[in-house]
Amino acid sequence: MAQTRLRLVLIILTAFSFLYFTRISVFKTQDKVQGAENSPAAPYGKSATQTSAKSIRRRVVAVADLHGDLEHALSVFRMAGLLPPYPSVSTDWIGGHDILVSTGDIVDRGDDTIKLYQLFQKMRKESQAAGGRVVNLVGNHEVMNALGDWRYVTQGDIESFGGRTARRAAMSSTGWIGKDWLENYNVTARVPLLPPQHPSLPSGYSPPSASFVHGGITSRYAGIGIDEINRVGRSLLRKGLEDPEPSGRYPHGVTRDEMDLWSEDGPLWYRGYAYNDNDAACKEAHEATQSLGVKHLVMGHTPHFKGFVVRCPSSEILLIDTGISRAYGGEQSALIIDTELTRMMASDGEKAPQEGQIKWRETEVLTALYKGRRPKVIDRLERTLWL
């Protein structure tokens, strides 16, 4: 009898222990899941274009004003999966076929001008070798520095060059930064969201594109065209870089077109998409996107410290300056435009509009990445195509 009672007690204790520790384990798992919202964000997405017989995919990553802050720039690039994640200190490109677009204002307000431009040179070279691309645009602060307007230059930045004379020499038409601007930077760019020359793209299909600029492209400037905007912008930039005694104002020989481009309604300064009421901004954006042949206008320049500002029914306006630099103390952020074209099976009874056509689905997912937060899907746009 005593042995039977002892066995019964042991069985009860074993069952109680199992339930107790299982309950603790479940609570710990729930705590981990609930706390994930505030945990540091992991590197987002896959690095290379995913391609199969039925699907073609590419990511475009866009970042706005970095303003002299290397540490936060590296944090954003690692978060976006373009550089190895922490604890690695490597700055080797792992973005594969991804496209990185910087909308300008790399310079000013921080001390890391040299290191940031060197980083972009390195990423540009490595991304090209991997089948990707880095697209650099000038902001108003790049042009201000070329013109000699150094109001926002820090003393630490000047010292990193070895003084004002050495800094200006680097930012001249014969200096390494000035030459880099003239050779590799533009005012604006139209970027296809899928590789337009990909051999698996169906005949007759034109990939969607997005427009990138620092300030904003009005419908008037959209009508002028990307090539002309960039021609005028490079001409103004070159004149500033070639000026032996820059004053911070217009350089010698400036033209009316160059002055207009440098005005508050020009693409480097325009803030109407941020400040105008929604109806006016979206009307302007609709006209601009139609002229440019793009789906989105992506721009920096006007900081919104809590996150991206997205306007209009199909996210035609994307304002992505969140004050990344510690000079502002805003959000570390990146915009991801993930586009995929997938071959579909027609449903029962579904017929192609024309004989021989195949059904495709184009999917575009816009995601905001913020440091310390989960990725936030801004918009998901889909359309069905028969090609």
The H-or-E segment that residue 209 falls in is strand 209-213
**Which residues lie closer than 8 Å to 104 by C-beta, 6 or more apart?**
65, 136, 137, 138, 139, 140, 141, 142, 185, 214, 268, 300, 301
Residue 42 reports pLDDT greater than 80: no
> Domains in the chain, start-ordered, CATH in brackets?
43-386 (3.60.21.10)
The pLDDT value given to residue 43: 54
Average pLDDT on 291-308 reads: 98
Neighbours of 384 (CB within 10 A): 9
The pLDDT value given to residue 5: 53
Quickly list DSSP for 169-201: HHTSTTSHHHHHHHHHEESEEEEESS-TT-TTS
| Contact assessment for residue 299 and residue 213, using Cβ atoms and an 8 Å cutoff | yes
How far is residue 381's CA from residue 315's CA, in Å, rounded to a whole number? 9
Cα 386 to chain centroid distance, Å, stands at 31
How far is residue 158's CA from residue 146's CA, in Å, rounded to a whole number? 15
Residue 17 reports pLDDT greater than 50: no
The pLDDT value given to residue 307: 97
Q: Closest by alpha carbon to 340, among 292, 311, 369, 383?
A: 383
The pLDDT value given to residue 24: 32
The pLDDT value given to residue 330: 87
The pLDDT value given to residue 222: 98
Residue 23 reports pLDDT greater than 90: no
Quickly list DSSP for 235-266: HHHHHHHH-SS--SSPPTT--HHHHHHTSTTS
β-bridge pairing 185-186 and 133-137: parallel
Average pLDDT on 237-265 reads: 97
Q: Hey, what are 235's tokens? A: 């001409």
Cα 244 to chain centroid distance, Å, stands at 35
Mean residue pLDDT of the chain comes to 89
95-109, 192-206, 220-234: which has the minimum mean pLDDT?
192-206
